[in-house]
Structure 1
Amino acid sequence: MVKNKKTTIQDLADYANVSIGTIDRVLHNRGKVSVAKRKKVEEAIEKLNFNPNLLARTLALGKQFTVCTLFPEATTSQSYWTLPRIGVDQAMEVHRDFGLELDSYEYSLFDESSFIKNADVILGKNPSGVILAPLFEKESLSFMKKLEERNIPYVFIDANIPNKRNLSYIGPDLKGSGYIAGKLLNSILGPSDDILVVNLVKGLENSAHTGIVEKGFKEFFKSNAALSNRKIDSITIPSTLESEVSRELTKYYIKNRGTKGVFVSNSRAHLISRYHALHELDIKVVGFDIVPGNVTELKNGNIDYIISQRPVFQGVTAVKTLFDFFVYKKSPAAVQFVPLDIIIKENVDYYINFQ
C-alpha cells in the first residue's frame, strides 16, 4: 500500500493509465472527461489513499465550507440526540483542516416555533450545506423549499421525507425498523396478549417518521393471518415528563388490563418500563437506541429488546456525504440505510464497548 504522504498526482495518473491533464480535470471538475476515465481516476484516488489534505487543498483552493445542523435539542447529556452530534463532531475533527466548519442549531420536539426560528437563522448564514433531522414535517418542507431556492444541498438524518430533493437520507429503514420491532415483541408474548404502541411526540399528524415506524410495526401482524386479530392500540403522549407519562399510562391501563406488550416508537422506552417496574406490571417492552436510561432498564430486565439505529454512525456519514459532495463532486446514494442492531441484556456491554 502506498502511504498517503508519498502519493502524487503522477501516481494517480500511472494507476489509472491516464494523463496528468485528465487527473487535473477530474480533481478540479472542469473540462470534458469520459465516464470511464473519471471512474478510473476515482478508483485510483480511493485505492492509493491519495493525500486528502493535498486533495482538499487542490480542489477547494482555500475555500471554506460551512455545514449547519438542525437537530432536536438534547435536553440532557443522556438524550438520544447527543449521539448523532457525537458523530458529527467526530467527522468534523477529521475534515476541519480540509475547509469544513460547523454551526449547530437545535429545536424543541414540543415547539414547532423553535424549528422555524433556527431554520431562519441558518438561511441567514447561507451555508454550504445542511444536515437536517426533519421530525416536524410541515416546517421541514417549508425550510427545504427555501434551501432549494438558494441551491443549498441538504441531507436528512434519522428521519426521512420520501421523494424530496434532499442530497441523501442517512438513517434506518423506518418501516423496516417498525416491522422488526413487531416481530421481536410478538416472539415474547402469548397468543391472546394485547399490545400498546406509545408515541412520545407532540403530534402524530406532523411527525415525519413516527407514523411510518408505527405502520411498519402493524404491518408485521397484518402480514400474518394468524396474528391479524391481535388487539393493537396506539396512544400519543405529547410530553416526556414522567408525571405526565405516568398519568396517561394509568388512564390507559385501567381500561385495558389485557395489555402485555408495549412498543415505544422512539428512544424513551425507559420512561415506560420504569412505570411498569414501579407498579409491578409484567409487561414486555421493545424500544429504540442504547441511551443510558434504556441500557439501565435493559440490564434490570424491564426492557426486553432495544433496536439500535447507530446514531453516531449517522452523524459521521452525514458529514462525510457533504464533504465528498463539496470536494470530490460525488453524488451520494439517495438512501443510505444504517444497519439495525438487536440489543439484549446479554450483549449490550459488548456493543457499547465496540462502539
Structure 2
Amino acid sequence: VLIDAFIENTNCVAYYGTNSYDSGYIAGRLLYEQINPAENIAIFRFIRKGEKQVTQVMKREEGFRNYLAEKNYDGRIYSVQLHADEPEKNISILNSFLEEHKEVNAGIIFNSRAHLLGKYFRDKGNKFRLIGYDVIDPNITCLNDGSISHLIAQRPEVQGFNCIRALFRHLVLKEKVEQINYMPIDILMKENIKYYNNYI
C-alpha cells in the first residue's frame, strides 16, 4: 500500500494521497493570484547528493508550470538549487540569488522544507510570498507568522488510517480494494490552520 506518492508499475494494493499534478496546478493558481502577470518568481529545490528528483515533486512542478502557461504568464521562473544538509551554504546561495534578482518576491517549494526558506526570509525582514507543502510544526509556525503565505496539505493521519484499513480489508477480509484513492487537496492559511485537524 502506497502513501503520499504514487509509484507507477508497482502493482500496489492501494494508493492514498493527492493527485500530485492537480496539487501543483492549484499551487500555480495560488501564486499567480498573488503576483503581477509579468512578475518573476522562483522555484526552490533542496537536493541531497545522489538523490534523484521524486516523481511526486516532478508532477507537482508540471502542474504548476502548466497553470502558469495556460494563463499566459509572462514572467521568468528561476530555479534555485539548495542543499539539504548544508544550511550555511544555502544562506550564501539565497543571498547571492536575491542580490542578483532583487525583483523576485514570490516563489514555491514542492516539499515540506518550506519552513527553512520561511525562516530565512523572516530573518532577512523580506516580505516574500512563499507557498509550501505539508502540515508539520515548523511550517505551521511560518504560516502563522506570515513567512509562508499558503501550505498545501493532504491529511497524512487520514491517509495512514486508510492505508491500514486497506491492508486489513485485503489481507484479512479478502475484499477488493480500490487501487487509486485520491485525498482532498487542502489549502491552508494562517486564518484556518488552527481548525485543520479538528474532528479527525
Q: For residue 295 of structure 1, what is the aligned residue in structure 2? A: 140
Contiguous gaps of at least 5 residues in structure 1: 1-154
Tell me the secondary structure at the aligned position of residue 21 of structure 2.
helix
CA pair 221-310 structure 1, distance change in 2 beyond 3 A: same
Counting only pairs closer than 5 Å after superposition, residues 124-143 of structure 1 correspond to structure 2 as: none
Corresponding position: 1:219 with 2:42: no
**Secondary structure of the residue that 1:170 maps to in structure 2?**
strand
Residue 101 of structure 2 corresponds to: 256
* Cα distance between partner residues in 2 of 1:179 and 1:244: 31
Map 1:105-144 to 2 at 5 A.
none
2:157 aligned with 1:312: yes
Separation (CA, whole Å) in 2 of partners of 1:233 and 1:205: 20
Query: SS at the partner of 1:273?
Result: helix
Amino acid at match of 1:262: G
Instruction: Give the AA of the match of 1:211.
Output: M
d(CA) in 2 for partners of 1:346, 1:265:
22
Change (3 A) 1:341 1:230: same
On the 8 A contact 1:204/1:210 being kept in 2, the answer is no
2:47 equivalent in structure 1:
201
Superposed CA RMSD: 1.8
Report SS of the residue matched to 1:161: coil
CA deviation map 1:84-116 (0-9, x unaligned): xxxxxxxxxxxxxxxxxxxxxxxxxxxxxxxxx
Task: Please report the TM-score for the alignment, with normalisation by the length of structure 2.
Answer: 0.91
SS in 1 for 2:148: coil
Cα 1:352/1:244, change in 2 over 3 Å: farther
Query: Deviation per CA, 1:173-217, whole angstroms, max 9, x where unpaired?
Result: 111111111110111112332111112232674423211111111
SS of match in other structure, 2:8: coil
Task: Note if contact 1:167-1:334 (Cα within 8 Å) is conserved in structure 2.
Answer: yes
The 8 Å contact of residues 245 and 271 in structure 1, kept in 2 or not, is answered as no
1:265-288 Cα deviation digits (max 9, x unpaired): 111111101111111222101111
Shift of the alpha carbon at 1:255? 2.0
Q: Does 1:247 align with 2:92?
A: yes
Is residue 325–residue 332 contact of structure 1 (8 Å, CA) maintained in 2?
yes
What is residue 19 of structure 2 aligned with on the other side?
173
Q: CA deviation at 1:247?
A: 2.4
Deviation at 1:354, TM superposition (A): 4.0
Aligned to 1:326: 171
Alignment of 1:1-355 (within 5 A): 155-202=1-48, 205-225=52-72, 227=73, 229-355=74-200
Q: C-alpha separation between the residues in 2 aligned to 1:330 and 1:244?
A: 52
Of structures 1 and 2, the one with the larger relative CO (CA 8 A, separation 6+) is: 2
Equivalent position SS for 2:187: strand
What is the SS of the residue equivalent to 1:233? strand
Specify whether residues 244 and 158 from structure 1 end up closer, same or farther in structure 2 by C-alpha distance, changes over 3 A only.
farther
Structure 2 counterpart SS, 1:200: strand
When residues 286 and 346 of structure 1 are mapped into structure 2, their CA distance, relative to the original with a 3 A threshold, is same
How many residue pairs get matched? 199
- The 1:204/1:180 distance shift into structure 2, 3 A limit, reads farther
Distance change in 2, residues 1:301/1:317 (3 Å): same
Q: Distance in 2 between matches of 1:297 and 1:354?
A: 24
Amino acid in the other structure paired with 1:339: P
Identity of aligned residues (%): 29
- The answer to which structure has the higher helix fraction is 1
Q: Is the 8 A contact 1:298 1:344 kept in 2?
A: yes
Q: CA deviation at 1:162?
A: 2.4
Could you state the TM-score of these two structures normalised by the residue count of structure 1? 0.53
- The whole-number CA distance in structure 2 between the counterparts of 1:214 and 1:284 is 17
What is the aligned partner in structure 2 of residue 121 from structure 1? none
Q: Secondary structure at the match of 1:312?
A: helix
